[in-house]
Amino acid sequence: MNATMDKTEILAWLRETDAARLAELWRRADETRRRQVGDAVHLRGLVEISNFCVRQCGYCGLRAGNTRIARYRMLAGEILEAARQAVKFGYGTVVLQSGEDYGLTTSWLADMIRQLKRETPLAVTLSLGERSDRELAAWRAAGADRYLLRFETSDRHLLDEIHPPLGNRKRDRLAILRRLKALGYEIGSGIMVGLPGQTYASVANDIELFRILDLDMIGIGPYIPHPGTPLGSGFQIFPPVNGEQVPNTELMVYKAIALTRLVRPDANIPATTALATINKKNGRELGLQRGANVFMPNLTPLKYRRLYEIYPAKACIAETDVKCHGCLNARIHTIGRHIGQGPGGRRNRDLPSAERGSRSRSHPQLHTDVVLSRALETVEPLRVADPSTLRSTATEDGRSDLARLPQTLESSSHA
């Protein structure tokens, strides 16, 4: 069991049911986490700045078609206040998250970022959906440090079904990640586990993709059905996948987290809120003991928090930020860990991947390495100071290195 574990081994672990063997997986993941990123748990203060969204994802409660939620967009003063709270609690990072909301304009957000950077020592992470190159460059130039954009699943057919394109504007998430990296952002991505139609082989491909992409952060959570969505209401159904359907259980999420830690030893991996939602008692702690090293406490003002309903019954929906802070502190200390200081970026980020102890290996049965290395590692650096020099990566024919990628993965999975 090591960082060069191949896809067959990953698949076998995903199917493993023997408790003693799984205990060994947890132990190895925890040991790797401790050796590579230490005992500090980094806290990122999450501020859900808007729940408007133009997209129609089949799984997400914020989808434009969900007319049952009241929409909000936080005021600049409210965002700054939440960020000040993050500083007061000693967090090193603030994460500004929203649906894909073009009401959050380029210049407004750039001003916001500049003000945050001026007034606080916080690292600023953005998680705002599939925005244009120009916007991403402007926000980077304003001082944003990181961007989170999950690819959700590497199965392109499944993704096309549940995450339809916006009109004829095709942008694929791996291409955007590549752009973000070229702009100098630390990049984060991730998946949902247990999506209808998602197979074991597909999750093994996702983990393979984590290995190959040079990601700084990797978020993994269970898919949680939302009754106000086509997928969650049963309106959108998928043909059965012959016993290959991955369950959306906490056990599957722990397996995916542990395997991800083994293939990407130095990544920042959160114990996600979705995981805490399906096991409110100790999902976070177990995630942190099986490979994770980050948590994202919610700093969204209470009056907005219940409206940011990506999925139902979200953990920490009614607790004040002060209460969550105390609760997390206690949970982290109970498992013998401590709260990390400072921004907590990926430590070895600037080293070549070989020196970070995790290398993309060439697997004869997988043709992903070449495609992916090209996808992310051979991009020439861009000057962020002048966004007008950027060309669009939303490829005109709707294809890109990354659009081709899941196909490659798929064909390999039947090999």
Which residues contact ligand 5AD (rule: CB under 6 A)? 59-60, 150, 152, 192, 221, 223-224, 226, 274, 310-311
Residues across the chain: 415
Other C-beta atoms closer than 10 Å to the C-beta of 232 total 20
181's contact among ligand 5AD, ligand FES, none, with CB below 5 to 8 A by partner kind, is none
Strands 217-222 and 186-193: parallel
CA separation, residue 224 to residues 168, 232, 275, 304, 377 (Å)? 29, 8, 10, 20, 33
Please identify, using beta-carbon distances, which residue of 26 and 52 lies nearer to ligand FES.
52
196's contact among ligand FES, ligand 5AD, none, with CB below 5 to 8 A by partner kind, is none
Please identify, using beta-carbon distances, which residue of 52 and 367 lies nearer to ligand 5AD.
52
Q: What does residue 107 show for φ and ψ, rounded to 5 degrees? A: -75, -35
257's contact among ligand 5AD, ligand FES, none, with CB below 5 to 8 A by partner kind, is none
What is the C-alpha separation between 383 and 376, in angstroms, rounded?
17
Instruction: Write out the binding residues for ligand FES, residues 21-60 only, by CB under 6 A.
Output: 53, 55, 57, 60
What is the C-alpha separation between 45 and 239, in angstroms, rounded?
40
Please report whether residue 314 would count as binding ligand FES according to CB under 6 A: no
What is the C-alpha separation between 291 and 288, in angstroms, rounded?
6
94's contact among ligand 5AD, ligand FES, none, with CB below 5 to 8 A by partner kind, is none
Instruction: Write out the binding residues for ligand FES, residues 94-123 only, by CB under 6 A.
Output: 99-100
Least Å from the CB of residue 192 to ligand 5AD:
5
Cβ(345)–Cβ(216) below 8 Å: yes
Least Å from the CB of residue 60 to ligand 5AD:
4
100's contact among ligand FES, ligand 5AD, none, with CB below 5 to 8 A by partner kind, is ligand FES
If 0-12 CB within 10 Å is exposed, 13-18 middle and 19+ buried, where does residue 19 land? exposed
DSSP annotation string for 216-274: SEEEEEE----TTSTTTTTSS-----TT-BPP--HHHHHHHHHHHHHHSTTSB-BB-HH
Task: Using alpha carbons, select from 104, 217, 112, 206 the residue that is nearest to residue 152.
Answer: 206
Least Å from the CB of residue 232 to ligand FES:
12
Please report whether residue 346 would count as binding ligand FES according to CB under 6 A: no
Of positions 92, 129, 230, 265, contacts ligand FES by CB under 6 A: 129
Least Å from the CB of residue 7 to ligand FES:
29
129's contact among ligand 5AD, ligand FES, none, with CB below 5 to 8 A by partner kind, is ligand FES
Q: Which two tokens stand for residue 198?
A: 């998602």
Least Å from the CB of residue 300 to ligand FES:
16
CA separation, residue 14 to residues 70, 200, 246, 270, 279 (Å)? 39, 7, 9, 19, 20
Please report whether residue 257 would count as binding ligand FES according to CB under 6 A: no
Please identify, using beta-carbon distances, which residue of 69 and 87 lies nearer to ligand FES.
69
Bridge-partner residues for 45, per DSSP?
Answer: 94
Please identify, using beta-carbon distances, which residue of 221 and 340 lies nearer to ligand 5AD.
221
Q: Where on the chain is the footprint of ligand FES (CB under 6 A)?
A: 53, 55, 57, 60, 62-63, 99-100, 129
